[in-house]
Amino acid sequence: MSQPDENQLTRPWVDWTARQIHDPVWRLRYLQSVAPAPLKASRWKSRKTIGLLTLLALGLVAAPLSLRRLGAANAAPPVLPELPAASALPPIHLVEPAVSPSTDVWSVEKASDFEVYSNGLRIENQYAVRHRPRAYVAFSMAGAEGRGGEKRTDPAGIVYHTTESLQAPFESSQNNRLKQVGESLIDYVRRRRCYNFLIDRFGRVFRIVNESDAADHAGHSVWADDRYFYVNLNDSFIGISFEAQTGAGEAATSAGNAQVRAAGMLTEMLRSRYKIPGRNCVTHAQVSVNPANMQIGYHVDWASSFPFERLGLPDNYATPSPAISLFGFAFDASFEQRAGVRLAAGASAADRGLVERAEAAHLSLAAYRKALHRRYLKILASQRG
């Protein structure tokens, strides 16, 4: 039997792939799995061969760059071991609230500057503006690589925000100031097309950007339900903002009772009109991501204390973060401090699932995250295109 060519062990794709596996044990196992067939016979057990492969596995990080360049001109692009499809990831299971929203909310009266609905909702239209028409792709969870997808124009969900704007004391002596601040805020968000709806301190609902159009409210963001995932939610989700401020990890809601009641009626109407599932009604802090450092929680408005139950919604804080599960985003100690107990628990649950899947793929967590990051960036680039 002829001796195997040891250069086979340093082919560029083997070298590159092994470099992505930071755990030395798993790196050695990978090299063993791609070793030429003769090495798997009796000579595999020789001290010389075992020593060679062990040194190769443990020393790849410090190996000369010439190994990586060997035959690079004719080598095929390196490929990581195949990642599981999104359908193989843990499903997102949420239970709808016991009191489901009415499916029969209808328009009672409609004028040029206001609308009234059967559930008591009144929407002020005098400030409404147009923006770019809503259009997006809903990606199937059956294929997380983002190929194809379903083109849509109706919103798939709702993202709740706070304006984080100046807050006057909510008392009768401040009435004029409250109205002045509110009017200034409406002018600001209208000019910038920030949200589809704004709920002021008095509980009045203002339509800002028509819901047939996209508002610039979510930026870089990720969410998923049990069938689809969504990247950059400006077009796919309606943006509703409360005139309010949120603090790090606050237990009590920062919105007033009038605002919460109005938000409940608005949510009920939108869910009725567009058949929006409760699991797709989420806060900005839950969906916001930062592609620059691949971490969640770039914006943390409503990171805690959102009154899901009072709006007839499931407590979506408990949902494992889709940005972590699908694309390997991470979070640090500062996020845990700002998020509060409920949202941090959802992030931690997603992170634990990521560790388990990395082990199942025989990759280090860092290598597995990198592969998921590339998946996300590829989808992001396709959306920009």
Q: For CA atoms 253, 259, 261, 263, give the dihedral sign.
A: negative
pLDDT score for 173: 96
The closest alpha carbon to 325, from 292, 364, 367, 369, belongs to: 369
Distance CA 284, CA 287 (A): 5
Determine how many CB atoms are found less than 10 A away from the CB of residue 134: 22
pLDDT at 23 > cutoff 80: no
- Ramachandran angles phi, psi of 190, nearest 5°: -65, -45
- Stronger pLDDT, 244 or 43, i.e. the higher one: 244
Q: Strand pairing partners for 221?
A: 288
The closest alpha carbon to 135, from 154, 149, 148, belongs to: 154
Identify the band that residue 31 occupies on the pLDDT scale cut at 50, 70 and 90.
Answer: low
pLDDT at 58 > cutoff 80: no
> Residue 280 in contact with residue 237, Cβ under 8 Å?
yes
pLDDT tens-digit readout, 134-188: 999 999 988 656 666 899 999 999 999 999 998 999 999 999 999 999 999 999 9
pLDDT at 110 > cutoff 70: yes
pTM listed for this prediction: 0.76
Q: Strand pairing partners for 283?
A: 160
Distance CA 112, CA 126 (A): 7
pLDDT tens-digit readout, 315-359: 999 899 999 999 999 999 888 888 888 899 999 999 999 999 999
pLDDT tens-digit readout, 235-286: 999 999 999 998 766 767 889 999 999 999 999 999 999 999 999 999 999 9
Residue ranges and CATH numbers for the domains of the chain are 6-69 (no CATH), 86-384 (3.40.80.10)
CB-neighbour burial class of residue 98 (10 A; exposed 0-12, middle 13-18, buried 19+): exposed
> Residue 263 in contact with residue 199, Cβ under 8 Å?
yes
In the chain, pLDDT over 90 holds for what percent of residues? 61
